[in-house]
Chain A
Amino acid sequence: MQESSTATTTNGPAKWGMAVDLDRCTGCEACVTACHAENNIPTVGANQAAAGRAMHWIRIERYFEGEFPDVHVKFRPVLCQHCDNAPCEPVCPTYASSHTDEGLNAQVYNRCIGTRYCANACNYNVRFFNWFNPIWEKPLHLQLNPDVSLREVSVMEKCTFCVQRIKEAKIDAKRDARPLADGDVKPACVQSCTANALVFGDLNDPESAVSRLSRSPRGTKLLGDLGTQPKITYLQREG
């Protein structure tokens, strides 16, 4: 049991990343729904949403091109980019926003005191503040995921790359005494994507599907010139 708990196809810790093929995304928002269900994300109601307090760890951005009737719609799923050089981390006074060994941009709810500096610093608008204690009308609380904690008022929350699934896959792999294989970990959005537009995996493994896609000549980073070094690669549309 002294061996590394992060055994992957490569040696050393994994570096989790994602590739998003924009040619495949149909904008169906199944990922958004799956994310809400998996991560116990509360809905805030119409009034609060109008005040900009809606919480969606992943969202589909729409871009319209051309004049009616010749309109093209482009979709782009946007979630936390888990930047290697994350602007949200150095501004946190309590180290609630910090980097893990596996490159995840972690949000530790226990430490968060709700300054909202991180949301202010984030270039991608993917951090969400709990302005109120979330409410579920009974019996809807019975569908909450027991593997994910509930965030209370004055805590910032964001995409975790479904770290509970990463942990579960690692525990299962260790139980079966095998290395973690490519595709063992699937966040809720990746699992639910009907078009396979989202691919998740270990960027340290050069043979993983996500590594191969990230090397594609179509690959771009969202606001990459800011130097945040995002771990999500968007494959630009060809069509």
Chain B
Amino acid sequence: MRKWFILLLTTVAALGLGWGFFGENGFLRGQSNTGAARAQTSPIFTTAHSSVGEAVRHFFGIRSEAQQPIAYTHKAHLDRSITCDTCHTGVNTGPQARIPDIRDCMECHEFVAMDKPVIQQITAMWERGEDIPWQRVYGFTDEAHVRFNHAPHIRADVECSMCHGDVAQMTVAERVVDHTMGFCVNCHTQRGASNDCLTCHN
């Protein structure tokens, strides 16, 4: 009798843990977690993790896939000899490669491919004064303390695809390269760039 009781307890505990880790709002699932939303609405800004789950995910480097609002096809644009920095402006002048907003899209799509349903969709958004809520694909966590600057890399002739994969063959951008410290340090060593801690972390 006692044996069956222990077995039952173990099963319940395992199910609970499984749900906690893999369930809809679980530790190991992405930003569906309410923690991020709570951080948005909170009246204070803090470096503390918004939930235990977020801390665990950051510690193990677990990230959810970005869910883009529109199935933007990088391939179709890059095939038409548009370059990365046409839309991701600022990449050769400053730290950030900007995520384009709807004005960048409408610069061309006020005149180009207006019969496509997805273009009509963003034209409607544009007329309503809305922006496209793109999600970031790459990026470092706060506790990585990395301060990355795009411009010097571009000037050193590092190809975009080196760190971001062959985006020219992708529809929505996927995270195909892991930006681990080893990845950065290898390239810095090969190219004779500084490997001082403060080069990236400050």
Contact = CB atoms under 8 A, between A and B. Distances in A.
Q: Do A and B come from one complex?
A: yes
Interface of A: 1-2, 5-6, 98, 100-101, 104, 106, 108-110, 133-138, 140-141, 146-153, 160, 163-164, 167, 171, 174-175
A108 B42 CA distance: 30
Interface stretch (B45-53, B97-105, B114-122): B45-53
A38 to B, nearest CB: 12
Contact of B47 (A5, A100, A152, A164): A152
Contact of B142 (A140, A141, A149): A149
B9 interface: no
Q: Which of A110, A135, A140, A160 has the most CB of B within 10 A?
A: A110
Interface residues of B, number: 30
Contact of A106 (B43, B47, B192, B198): B198
Contacts of B143: 110, 152
B156 to A, nearest CB: 5
B44 A138 contact: yes
B157 interface: yes
Nearest to B142: A150
Given A1-B191, A147-B147, A175-B155, A163 B198 contact: yes
Contacts of A150: 47, 142
Interface string B170-202: 000000000000000000000111101111011
B45 A136 contact: yes
Q: Which of B46, B144, B198, B201 has the most CB of A within 10 A?
A: B198
B152 A133 contact: no
